[in-house]
Structure 1
Amino acid sequence: MTAVRDVRDGGAIAAVHRLERRPGRRSVVAVARGAGGGRCLMLNGHLDTVGHAGYDGDPLAPRVSKGRMYGRGALDMKGGIATVMVAAARATAGGRLRGDVLVACVADGEYGSSGTEEVLESFTLLGTGTVHASVIRGGEETSTHPAHRRVTLERRTVPGENADGVERELAGLLDRLAATVPDFRYRLIRGVHREPFEADPDAPIVRTLTSHAERTLGHPPVVRAEPFWTDCALLDRAGIPCLLFGADGEGAHAATEYVDLASLDRLTDVLTVTITDFCS
Structure 2
Amino acid sequence: MTELDPAPLLTDLVRLPSVNPRGGPGDGGETAVAEYVRDWLERHGVRAELDEVLPGRCNVVAVVPGRLETAVLLESHLDTVEVDGMTVPPYDGEVRGGRLYGRGACDAKGPLAAFMLAAAELARGEPPLHTLVLAGVCDEEHAYRGVLRLLERLRGRRFVGAIVGEPTGLVPAVAHKGVVRYTVRTTGRAGHSSRPEEAVNAISLMAPVLAHLAVTPPAVAPHPLLGPATRVVTRIRGGTGPNTIAGTCEADVDRRTLPGEEPDLVWRQDRDELALLGAELDPPFLVDHALDTPADSALVTALRRALVALGRPDDIAGMPFGTDASKIARTGVPTVVFGPGALRDAHAADESVELAEVESAARTVIATVRGMDAADATDLTDVTVAADAIDGRQESSCG
When normalised by structure 2's length, the TM-score is: 0.60
Q: Are 1:244 and 2:337 counterparts?
A: yes
The secondary structure found in structure 2 opposite 1:100 is strand
Give the superposition deviation at 1:82: 0.4
2:304 corresponding residue in structure 1: 210
Corresponding residue of 1:153:
253
Contact 1:210 1:221 in 2 (8 A): yes
Root mean square deviation of aligned Cα: 2.6
Unaligned runs of 5+ in 2: 1-34, 159-225, 375-399
C-alpha distance 261-8 of structure 1, shift in aligned 2 (>3 A): closer
- Letter in structure 2 aligned against 1:151: A
**Does the CA-based 8 Å contact 2:271-2:281 persist in structure 1?**
no
In 1, Cα distance between the equivalents of 2:271 and 2:372?
47
Displacement after TM superposition at 1:81 (Å): 0.3
1:176 matched to 2:276? The reply is yes
Match of 1:33 in 2: 65
Report the alpha carbon displacement of residue 190 of structure 1 after superposing the two structures with TM: 1.4
Spell out the pairing of 1:86-97 with structure 2 (5 A cutoff).
86-97=117-128
Q: Among 190, 202, 212, which residue is 2:284 paired with?
A: 190
The offset of 1:211, in angstroms, is 0.4
Which residue among 254, 257, 269 is the counterpart of 2:363? Answer: 269
- Return the offset for 1:157: 1.5
Which amino acid counterpart does residue 162 of structure 1 have in structure 2? E
Deviation of 1:144 (Å)? 4.2
In 2, are the aligned partners of 1:30 and 1:104 still within 8 Å (CA)? Answer: yes
CA distance in 1, matches of 2:313, 2:76: 23
Task: Provide closer, same or farther for how the CA distance between residues 243 and 89 of structure 1 changes in structure 2, counting only shifts above 3 A.
Answer: same
* 1:52-73 C-alpha deviation (Å, 9 max, x unpaired): 2333343333333322222222
What displacement does 1:245 show? 1.1
Please give the alpha-carbon distance, in whole angstroms, between the structure 1 residues aligned to 2:355 and 2:327. 29
Aligned identity (percent) is 32
SS of alignment partner, residue 302 of structure 2: helix
Instruction: Tell me, in whole angstroms, the C-alpha distance in 1 between the residues paired with 2:98 and 2:245.
Output: 51
- Where does residue 138 of structure 2 map in the other structure? 107
Q: Does 1:19 align with 2:33?
A: no
Q: Matches of 1:96 and 1:153 in 2, distance apart?
A: 49
Distance in 2 between the 1:132 and 1:53 partners? 25
The amino acid across from 1:193 in the alignment is V
Matched position secondary structure for 1:26: strand
Q: 1:85 to 1:219 in 2, by over 3 A?
A: closer
Residue 231 of structure 2 is aligned to residue 131 of structure 1: yes
Counterparts in 2 of 1:147 and 1:120: CA distance versus 1, 3 Å: same
2:167 is matched with none
Distance 1:151 1:25 in 2: 33
Matched position secondary structure for 1:40: strand
Where does structure 1 lack aligned partners over 5 or more consecutive residues? Answer: 179-184
Alpha-carbon distance between aligned partners in 2 of 1:111 and 1:279, rounded to the nearest angstrom: 37
Q: Does the CA contact (< 8 Å) of 1:19 and 1:26 recur in 2?
A: yes
Q: Report deviation, 1:224.
A: 1.6
Of 328, 348, 364, the residue aligned with 1:254 is 348
* Aligned partner of residue 291 in structure 2, secondary structure: coil
Out of 113-122 and 52-61, give the one that drifted further. 52-61
Partner of 2:262: 162
- Note the alpha carbon deviations across 1:13-46, whole angstroms, 9 max, x for none: 52x2322232243211111222x33641110001
Q: State the shift of 1:279 in Å.
A: 7.0
Q: Distance in 1 between matches of 2:91 and 2:42?
A: 32
8 Å Cα contact 1:157-1:196 kept in structure 2: yes
Quickly say closer, same or farther: Cα 1:170–1:269, change in 2 above 3 A. Answer: same
| 1:75 maps to amino acid | C
| Local SS of the residue matching 2:127 | coil
Letter in structure 2 aligned against 1:174: L
Find the aligned partners of 2:111 and 2:251 in 1 and give their Cα distance: 34
